[in-house]
Chain A
Amino acid sequence: MELDRPLPQPITPEARPYWEGLRERKLMLPRCRQCRRAFFYPRVLCPFCHAGDIEWFQASGRGRLYSFEIAYQTFNKAFKVKPPYVLAMVELEEGPRLMSNLVGIEPDPRRIHCDMPVRVVFHTLTDQVTLPLFEPAGSAS
């Protein structure tokens, strides 16, 4: 079956716990054991204190929509989701930001606003790859 999205590539060794977590429908994040701050994207050194002592934990999946755009055309030939679609920068409640899509809402700038609460939904692409997408969370956590 043809995919409607490009697969994440190259998946790098230090990011494997993230992608394996998503396969199990868990949002796993790296955290520095020294300064206790979570960060994203995964790397071998903490970008805050530069220690090389990383652990992984399961995030709540909740965050806010830090910013967004609404695409009216396609920007990547391998991405076949029909426009309009929402490009999202989500700030997770644990601190790190990541890029995703906002789904489950009309792609209308009058209905979407920065800082609206969101929560993760897991989107299976293949048996190896699941992506984190986000939907509006309303006021309940």
Chain B
Amino acid sequence: MKALRNSVCIVGVDESDELGTLPHKSQLTLHLEAVRNAVRDAGLTVGDVDGIFTAGQHSPATIGEALGITPRYVDGTTVGGCSFIIMVGHAVAALHHGLCDVAVVCHGESGRSGVGVSPRRDTALPGQYEAPFGFGGAPTYFGMITTRHMHEYGTTLEQWAQVAVSTREWARLNPKAKSREPLTIAEVLNSRPVVYPFNILNICLVTDAGGAVVLTRADRARDCRKKPVYVRGAGEATEHVMLTQMRTLTFSEATRLSGAKAFAMAGVTHTDFNHIMLYDAFTSGPPIMLESLGFCKPGEGVHYFEPGRSTPGGSLPINTNGGGLSYTHSGMYGIFPIIEAARQLRGECGARQVPGCRLSLVNGMGGMLSAAGTLVLSNER
């Protein structure tokens, strides 16, 4: 496993041409724009791509055909929004062994406008055991995790709201973020109640967006346009899909396993990071991820989001793009924290640049903390 450390680099990243409310663009268009833009960012051409890694409604074969190429390596791992984070790890292994030379992990989703989409989820088990009770969509599930956490550890609605407030400060510095007005705890708590314990501002945006990441072996990265971003470590794990099957609602075993694997491959510990990206579909997700990754004891994750800690200029910046909560969230968000981490490590982030960013952690979930993917990224070997 350690042989994979620093074997592969991220050499190109970009989003689709636009993010937001795009009724004039199909989901496939968002996908193709993202691939073209990321490949251009790498100084490569679409014709150079020979490995396609994508999740969601479109198979890698569909993306290959739409691009007009014939990939010799394909991966369609679909375990929720972190699938793209997981597939970076898969691309590392494939590139390391020479099974392909230029890998693209790509995403496009018309999550808000629904243009050129089809139903994607396996609904057989929820249809039998959950739909008759009014469940439907992530907020009706992730709230269960949140309510139980409040019961076991005394976390408060104000502490969850602080996660949204701290994340918004970063969105204010990101020209591509959707929500950029200042935000207060009171505004979060007074926003429209959706499903207790969530008001609308505890829940991520719903947007149309695409994103892609290009990877090559490290020796080829030198020939690309930008400063290479090394993949030091990668991990993945799954625990459940149906929330009733989670061993304990307040701790993600998948995250623990995924993080441990990525840290071991990378040879790092928790205190080594300058920068952290955590999949934030809900305000309660990132604090529980920190706990499950072993940064702190269960119940203490919310403290990382206090002013002066995760915020601009703070001791450990988190979600510097503004997150799914304030920047963009198409449905399966996982490609976007990877793009932000790479940009931070390259020093490209302008007003939101973390000074001296050297080592970044990207952790995402699939479903309701059901699956996890973790990356340790660096700008030095």
By a beta-carbon cutoff of 8 Å, the part of chain A in contact with chain B is 5-12, 15, 40-41, 47, 66-76, 78-79, 81, 85, 87-89, 96-101, 109, 113-115, 125, 131
Residue among B124, B129, B145 with most chain A CB within 10 A? B129
Main DSSP-derived SS at the B contact region: helix
- Given known A-B contacts A40-B244, A89-B144, A99-B129, A72 and B249 have beta carbons under 8 A apart: no
Judge whether A9 and B128 touch: CB under 8 Å. Answer: yes
Type the 1/0 row for B141-154, where 1 means its CB is closer than 8 Å to any CB of A: 00111011001100
Partner of A67, one of B130, B194, B249: B249
- Can you pick out 13 interface pairs between chain A and chain B where the beta carbons lie within 8 Å of each other? A5-B132, A6-B127, A6-B131, A7-B132, A11-B128, A41-B128, A66-B148, A69-B197, A72-B195, A79-B132, A85-B134, A89-B144, A114-B147
How far is A99 from B127 in the complex, measured between Cα atoms in Å?
Answer: 12
Which partner residue on chain A sits nearest B152 by CB separation?
A114
Q: In the complex, which residues of chain B have a beta carbon less than 8 angstroms from the beta carbon of A66?
A: 148, 249
- A9, A15, A79, A115: the one within 8 Å of B136 (CB): A79
Q: Can you name the residue of chain A whose Cβ is closest to the Cβ of B150?
A: A114
Which B residue sits closest to A3, measured CB to CB? B132
Q: Which partner residue on chain B sits nearest A133 by CB separation? A: B133
Instruction: State A66–B132 Cα separation when bound (angstroms).
Output: 19
In contact, A12 and B134 (Cβ under 8 angstroms): no
Interface range on chain B (Cβ under 8 Å from partner): 20 to 34
B137 part of interface (Cβ distance < 8 Å): yes
Distance of A109 from chain B, by nearest CB (Å):
5
Q: Give every chain B residue within 8 A of A79 (Cβ-Cβ).
A: 131-134, 136
Does A75 contact B136, Cβ atoms closer than 8 Å?
yes
Bound Cα distance from A70 to B146, whole angstroms: 12
Flag B346-361 by CB within 8 Å of A: 1 or 0 each: 0000000000000000
Interface residues of B (CB under 8 A from A): 124-125, 127-137, 139-140, 143-145, 147-148, 151-152, 193-198, 242-245, 249
Is A81 a contact partner of B194 (Cβ separation < 8 A)? no
Decide: A8 and B127 in contact? CB cutoff 8 A: yes
A139 to B152, CA, bound (A): 21
| A131–B128 CA distance with the chains assembled, in angstroms | 11
Evaluate whether A114 and B151 lie within 8 angstroms (CB atoms) in the complex, with A10-B128, A87-B133 already known: yes
Residues of chain B contacted by A87 (CB below 8 angstroms): 133-135, 140, 143-144, 195
The docked-state distance in angstroms from the alpha carbon of A68 to that of B196 is 8
Q: Are B147 and A99 in contact (CB under 8 A)?
A: no
Known contacts A5-B132, A114-B148; decide if A99 and B244 are in contact (CB<8 Å).
yes
- Contact call A99/B125, Cβ cutoff below 8 A: no
Contacting residues, chain A, for B136 (C-beta < 8 A)? 75-76, 79
Q: For A72, what are the chain B residues with a Cβ–Cβ distance below 8 Å?
A: 193-196
Let me know if B144 and A67 touch, CB within 8 A: yes
What is the minimal beta-carbon distance from A137 to any residue of chain B, in angstroms? 18
* Minimum CB–CB distance for B10 against chain A, Å: 37
What's the least CB distance linking B192 to chain A, in Å? 8
Q: Chain A's nearest CB lies how many Å from the CB of B135?
A: 6
How many angstroms between the C-alpha atoms of A76 and B137 in the bound complex?
8
A5-B132, A41-B129 known; A10 and B124 CB under 8 Å?
A: yes
Q: Are B134 and A109 in contact (CB under 8 A)?
A: no
| CA distance in complex: A63, B109 (Å) | 41
B128 and A99 contact, CB distance less than 8 A: no
A6 to B123, CA, bound (A): 13
Are A71's CB and B128's CB within 8 A? no
Closest chain A residue to B139, Cβ basis: A75
* Residues on A with beta carbons closer than 8 Å to the beta carbon of B152: 114
| Known contacts A87-B195, A114-B152, then 19 further A-B pairs from the complex at CB < 8 Å, ordered by chain A residue | A7-B132, A10-B124, A67-B144, A67-B147, A67-B151, A69-B144, A69-B147, A69-B195, A70-B196, A72-B195, A75-B195, A87-B133, A87-B140, A87-B143, A89-B144, A89-B244, A99-B135, A109-B196, A125-B132
A56 nearest CB across to chain B (Å) = 16
Contact A71-B151, Cβ < 8 Å, known A15-B128, A41-B125, A66-B249: no
